[in-house]
Amino acid sequence: MRGVFNILSPWKVILLFPLLFFFAVGQSYAIDVTLQWDANTEPDLAGYKFYYDTDSGAPYNPNCLDYASAEYSIDGGNTWNPIICPPPIIVDSGVTEIMFQDLADDKVHFFAVTAYDTEGLESGYSNEEATICISYPQGDSYVNDEPGSPDYGSPYTVRGRADKDAVVTLLARQNSIQTPLGDATADDNRDWEIDVDFKLKFNEGPVILTVESE
């Protein structure tokens, strides 16, 4: 290879399954992310470099405290390693997926990838992808049939953060049945909110929330 990769074509980095996993009532949740891409076919491809930050765009110089508890995996989640900070995380040419877990739940995380060759030449950044998160409520939602009890028939607003202009779909699962609750577009401050009324859709008991974005 001579010169620099054109990583935007034919490569594309796709953010998949930006799920929020809820635990017991009152506990916080973690953001888990999987990034996948099409392998580059250059004969002297050496590998890929992954960049991340809580601010959009280069130079990708995050506050490492935001990633102190996070881990990454390049083998489908069989092995987890502490996040290398500052970025990049460097992987070899045979890797086409990287997973992140336990990302800070009150932040929007931005990702980009480059390719580099056997001479150390590095491409430009790929398209950037971002996570989404729920900032309220933190913990399980619970439908209670007792009048006067918390959550009894009371609509409230689920709030979160995402990349600016991202279209977010809120989903709720109860007894293995998943129900869409509505869509919202993140504003210029990367905030979104959706009004819900669990009483109209669910039986008494816990409801697990997730969000996704195209």
Residues of the chain with pLDDT > 90, as a percent, come to 18
Domains of the chain, start order: 13-130 (2.60.40.10), 135-213 (2.60.40)
**Could you report the per-residue pLDDT of 17-52, keeping only the tens digit for each?**
333 332 222 334 567 788 888 788 788 888 899 999
Rounded Cα distance, 104 and 159, in Å: 16
- pLDDT, residue 30, reads 62
Q: 175: Cβ–Cβ under 8 A, 6 or more apart, which residues?
A: 203, 205
Beta bridge partners of 174: 177
Residue type, 115: A
Neighbours of 149 (CB within 10 A): 12
Closest listed residue to residue 115, CA positions, set 58, 61, 42, 23: 42
pLDDT tens for each residue of 114-164: 888 888 888 888 878 888 878 777 666 666 655 555 554 556 788 888 888
The one-letter code for the residue type at 79 is T
Tokens linked to 45: 């491809």
